[in-house]
């Protein structure tokens, strides 16, 4: 339940940001003002995109640690329930983080397309 709420929160917050960008760009009368706002939003979106891509690198490293931990547990053959539970929780948190990053990237791509369309159109 908590996971679904976190996905909904991420979706709604990104959607509201996209709506804010859309309305900001549409209510600008002058082309120069619209371009300035669009470029600023593009800079912000590029910084968030880099951050999201860096998080994927982090998730890959965590996944390698999970695999190594599972291998070590299998080699030792000690049934240690708390350790297995921790490894499972880490895997679950990593997957949820990846999904949230995908949601962020989806909206960032839509925002970039919106800004580029407003820059190109006169």
Whole-number Å distance between alpha carbons of 3 and 26: 35
- How distant, in Å, are the alpha carbons of 77, 80, 81, 90 from that of 49? 42, 39, 38, 24
pTM as predicted: 0.84
Per-residue pLDDT of the chain in tens (122 residues, 90 and over written 9): 888 999 999 999 999 999 999 999 999 889 999 999 999 999 999 999 999 999 999 999 999 988 888 888 778 776 667 777 888 888 899 999 999 999 999 999 999 999 999 999 86
Tell me which residue of 107, 108, 16, 104 sits closest to 24, measured CA to CA: 16
Buried b (16+ CB within 10 A) or exposed e, 86-99: ebeeebeebeebbe
């Amino acid at each position: 339940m908590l996971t679904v709420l976190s996905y909904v929160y991420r979706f709604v917050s990104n959607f509201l940001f996209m709506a804010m960008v859309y309305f900001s760009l549409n209510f600008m009368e002058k082309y120069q003002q619209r371009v300035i706002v669009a470029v600023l939003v593009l800079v912000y979106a590029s910084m968030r995109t880099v951050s999201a891509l860096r998080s994927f690198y982090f998730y890959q490293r965590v996944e390698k640690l999970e695999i190594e931990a599972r291998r070590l547990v299998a080699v030792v053959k000690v049934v240690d329930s708390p350790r297995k539970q921790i490894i499972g929780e880490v895997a679950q948190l990593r997957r949820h983080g990846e999904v949230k990053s995908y949601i962020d990237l989806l909206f960032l791509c839509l925002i970039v397309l919106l800004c580029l369309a407003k820059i190109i159109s006169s």
